[in-house]
Amino acid sequence: MKPRYLLIVLAAMAAPAFAMNMSVFKDAPVTRLSTEELKTFVSTIQKTLETGADGVTVEWKAPKTPFTSKITPVSTVIEGKRKCRDTTIESEAKDRFQRGTYSFCKADTGAWEPRSPSSKTAKK
């Protein structure tokens, strides 16, 4: 993946799409990661979404940067033919902290992508 694409993916995961404001990312913990660490972090998120059990936290630590993230799938639903997961991601760098719950759905390509608010089904 190209570094720019990785940043876009992480930016999309770092805030709900309806509140997307790129200025909030200038101080996000993920900005402390190197390009290679960022690739590994995104890969860890993808693997956790693919194989992690709901309620089980996966912790990832950057090899060189003081950065730790906890990824916890919270719930899994099937929307039509798509598998979707709500996931809490909590990241901390030496001087930064960010926590949020984000929704992802598995794309036809096999990758997990942020789910837009309009694609969520209404709960009754």
pLDDT tens per residue, the chain (124 residues)?
A: 444 444 445 554 544 443 444 455 567 899 899 999 999 999 999 999 999 999 999 999 999 999 999 999 999 999 888 999 999 999 999 889 999 999 999 999 999 999 866 444 444 3
Q: Which of 16, 3, 10 is nearest to 44 (CA)?
A: 10
Residue 16 belongs to what domain range?
3-119
Domain-embedded: residue 124? no
pLDDT value for 27: 77
| pLDDT for the residue 5 | 45
On whether the CB atoms of residues 45 and 13 are closer than 8 A, the answer is yes
In a domain, 46, yes or no: yes
H or E element, residue 90: strand 82-93
33 found inside a domain: yes
Residue whose C-alpha is closest to residue 50's, from 117, 3, 109: 109
Q: The dihedral of CA 98, 59, 30, 85: what is its sign?
A: negative
Does some domain include residue 45?
yes
Q: Confirm whether 25 is domain-assigned.
A: yes
Q: How many domains does the chain have?
A: 1
